[in-house]
Copies of this chain bind each other. A is one copy, B any other.
């Protein structure tokens, strides 16, 4: 039998933005403060019940987000839309809820068809720009943007991205679909923007590291096909540093 309290429980979806600089990534861990642990702490304080969120993307230390997702269940009576304001009063200023709303009780952020968008930002200059140091990778070497675009084109579509997955990651399938992968110049910034149905562990950072090698002339754009075919992490370029990466948004139907 379902209790009255169970019936009154609602599932709330949060859109979460954060500056990842000060955190040990998203996921709760024993030896450091994480985005997830801060959300759990503030939600539990706010509602006076133990709450544990389920996140959509377990971003690494130093990675930023404009729109990660988290859900939790609560029997609190506060209107869902007000929760963003109440939570932001308690959260540290480098985490800010952008939206809070009720979703179906069985909605799960990792079990829905979604399009995820990431940006990897590069700052090109002779010297680093201090106000960008935490949000963009500084690159001194000259980059051939057209070569990077050509290299990127090989990755669009459905492929086995095993070569672009950190070894040791446990996943059933390494096949993913990239809908769009662009390299855009924004003044001295270069923004690699990728939209796909899902990403393997470190996949966007390995793509960025490999596109950078193409841009520096150390790889031919056509190498990308070879890398895909090898299904071997060692075939791709290095994992680009975390701080250039931002999870931009999740879209779903």
For A130, the chain B residues whose CB sits under 8 A away are 17-19, 64, 93-96
Interface residue count for A (Cβ, 8 Å)? 23
A133 within 8 A of B: yes
- Contact of B246 with A128 in the complex, beta carbons under 8 Å: no
A69 within 8 A of B: no
A127 within 8 A of B: yes
Q: Which residue of B lies closest to A15 (CB)?
A: B127
Known: A18-B130, A96-B130, A131-B246; 14 extra A-B contacts, CB below 8 A, are A17-B127, A17-B130, A19-B130, A19-B133, A66-B129, A88-B128, A93-B128, A93-B130, A94-B130, A95-B130, A96-B127, A96-B129, A97-B127, A131-B135
A126 within 8 A of B: yes
A84 within 8 A of B: yes
For A17, the chain B residues whose CB sits under 8 A away are 127, 129-131
Least CB distance, A17 to chain B, in whole angstroms: 5
A98 within 8 A of B: yes
Q: How many copies does the complex hold?
A: 2
List residues of A (111-145) whose CB comes within 8 Å of B's CBs: 125-131, 133, 135
Contact of A88 among B18, B96, B127, B246 (CB under 8 A): B127
List residues of A (195-214) whose CB comes within 8 Å of B's CBs: none
Interface centre among A18, A94, A127 (most CB of B within 10 A): A127
Pairs across A and B, CB under 8 Å, 25 listed: A17-B129, A17-B130, A17-B131, A19-B130, A19-B131, A19-B133, A64-B130, A66-B129, A66-B131, A88-B128, A93-B128, A93-B130, A94-B130, A94-B133, A95-B130, A96-B127, A96-B128, A96-B129, A96-B130, A97-B127, A98-B125, A98-B126, A98-B127, A131-B135, A131-B246
For A135, the chain B residues whose CB sits under 8 A away are 131
| Cα–Cα, bound, A96→B128 (Å) | 7
